[in-house]
Amino acid sequence: MITLKTALRGCVVASTLMAAPLAASAQDFINVLTGGTSGVYYPLGAGLANIYGEKIEGVRTQVQSTKASVENLNLLQDGRGELGFALGDSVAAAWAGDEEAGFPQKLDKLRGIAAIYPNYIQIVASADSGIADFAGLAGKSLSVGAPASGTELNARAIFGAMDMSYDDLGKVEYLPFAESVELIKNRQLDATLQSAGLGVASIRDLASSQPITVVAVPETVAETLGAPYIAATIPANTYDGQTEDVPTVAVSNFLVTSDAVSDEIAYQMTKQLFENLDTLVASHQAASQIDIANALEGMPIPLHPGAERYYREQGIIK
């Protein structure tokens, strides 16, 4: 005879069994935080999400378009993502709790996965604007990236290193890459500053539609700013009509997670990144610059133990 007590015990057991898979699924969900859809973070994030969904057993993935670095880091701190793309200077500012950079307090839950490819500061003006060099931006209209984005932090730093400020500009717009390009096309904006991988879709789109000038950033800027900024070059023919190499500065990008992500998931995210680079390059050519030999270079936050395990297996950490 089944008593009420027995029946209740059975319900408790059944509820426990039903709840277990739900908890496991929640832990094995990877939300990849990227950037605007016209940038480089988004296609690479989509590529990674596909790789993780196929290669990591029991994992479900999602790609989230965001305002990029600063937003991604805050979302990771709040437990609203498992992996995010971010610029090195933004990561360092987040760990320090730099309020001016968009971090009112130290983001102490952040953990590193890998240094990936460099972002090149790419300042592009319409040929009609007459802008020929950095000083020529004075009095002109410039989009410096979405508000409180990593790109906008880069813009502020570079203007400071050039002894200029936004006050020297005729007009400042705070717009994502695609919107900036559309305004230039419509003759409502002179130039755009974009911190992105080479060959970013937004600038390719602009260069294919009208003559452009890629504005040089002097090597002295990298010397003034120091790490994580380095001198770099935008090779000739990166964009239509760009017939010469153009000097600029670059900043490393990082893949970042949080201490809430399990060691096993962090291990697999790191492992599948480096073991499927050929597949990731198909998402965007910037992935061709990812090299495990440089994965820990300039890491501004503690490494996640799961990522550390993979690097020890590969001999990157002795």
- Per-residue pLDDT, averaged over 278-303, amounts to 95
- Of the candidates 211, 171, 164, which has an alpha carbon nearest to the alpha carbon of residue 189? 171
At 65 the pLDDT is 96
- Check whether residue 99 and residue 52 sit in a common domain: yes
- Check whether residue 63 and residue 141 sit in a common domain: no
- Check whether residue 198 and residue 301 sit in a common domain: no
- Check whether residue 136 and residue 241 sit in a common domain: yes
Where are the strands (E) in the chain, listed by range? Answer: 29-33, 60-64, 83-87, 110-126, 141-143, 171-173, 191-196, 212-215, 229-234, 246-258
Whether pLDDT at 33 is above 50: yes
Range of the domain at 134: 119-251
CA angle 248, 249, 252 (to 5 degrees): 140
What's the rounded Cα separation, in Å, for the pair 100 and 153?
10
Q: Find the CATH number of the domain harbouring 83.
A: 3.40.190.10
- Per-residue pLDDT, averaged over 153-160, amounts to 95
Domain count, the chain: 2
- Per-residue pLDDT, averaged over 123-152, amounts to 95
Whether pLDDT at 259 is above 80: yes
CB 265 within 8 A of CB 227: no
At 146 the pLDDT is 86
Whether pLDDT at 11 is above 70: no
- Check whether residue 212 and residue 172 sit in a common domain: yes
- Check whether residue 108 and residue 78 sit in a common domain: yes
Which distant-in-sequence residues (6+ apart) come within 8 Å of 64 by Cβ? 31, 32, 33, 34, 81
Partners of 92 in beta bridges: none
- pTM for the full model? 0.81
Which distant-in-sequence residues (6+ apart) come within 8 Å of 138 by Cβ? 164, 168, 169
Reported as a single tens digit per residue, the pLDDT across 88-120 is 999 999 999 999 899 999 999 999 999 999 999
At 227 the pLDDT is 81
